[in-house]
Amino acid sequence: MINTDKQKESSLLLKLKDEPSTSTSQPYILQKIFQRFENPSKQNITLQDLQETSTKIIHLKEKITYQKWHINITITIQDYFKLQITAIIDSGAQMNYIKKGLMPTKYFKKTKKRLSTANDEVKFKVTDVHICNKGICIKQSFILVKDLDIGIILGQPFLEINKPLKIKTEGITTKIFQQKILFAFNKKPITKNINLLKTFSLFKEHSINLIKTKENNLYFMK
């Protein structure tokens, strides 16, 4: 009887065959999570299911939260300096960064801001930088970094000023001065739009329901 129960319990464990790969070329699929929790009355969902699913969702969130896209931009400084370059939009970067040597040093000023992985040495920043796209220019500040794999990283300040924005297969779209702007991707990312809020809402709802059911069962067993 014990072995049978263990086998039955094992058969109820949540198994997601479409787990996200560490490669960015693999789409993140939450369809099976939706199917698992949208019809809880027809399935026996255990506390172990919830725990394992929670771990999987956390891993998915970590992979989805920090995304990177390559775009072509034109940056100008005070109408005296102009540079066309490929930049990375990195949603995990706290600031905008530019590689040393791309801009004349006369435009930079000392700042105490530093990278999270750097020491306390003095950094340099440039504040009067405009990122231009189809006649619309967005003012941004950059921190000078000596060692970067790519010339420019556009981080959270760039994303925040462009909100609300939409991420599509062709690029990132936003509206500035009532004009729609597209920051086109150099390569179309192979990802799918995922409604994480729906996942977390379903997960939370059925977690509460399951706990209440367990509590009621324990009460009647007394």
In a domain, 62, yes or no: no
In a domain, 181, yes or no: no
pLDDT at 16: 35
pTM: 0.53
pLDDT at 212 exceeding the cut of 50: yes
In a domain, 111, yes or no: yes
pLDDT at 190: 43
Domain with 75 in it: what CATH number?
2.40.70.10
In a domain, 155, yes or no: yes
Looking only at the bridges linking them, the beta strands covering 97-99 and 136-145 are parallel
Burial label, 202 (beta-carbon count in 10 A; 0-12, 13-18, 19+): middle
Q: Helix, strand or coil for residue 4?
A: helix
Q: Identify the H or E element spanning 98.
A: strand 97-99
Q: Helix, strand or coil for residue 164?
A: coil
pLDDT at 78: 79
In a domain, 192, yes or no: no
| Residues of the domain holding 141 | 69-163
pLDDT at 113: 56
pLDDT at 96: 92
Number of domains in the chain: 1
Q: Which of 136-140, 165-169, 218-222 has the lowest mean pLDDT?
A: 218-222
In a domain, 46, yes or no: no
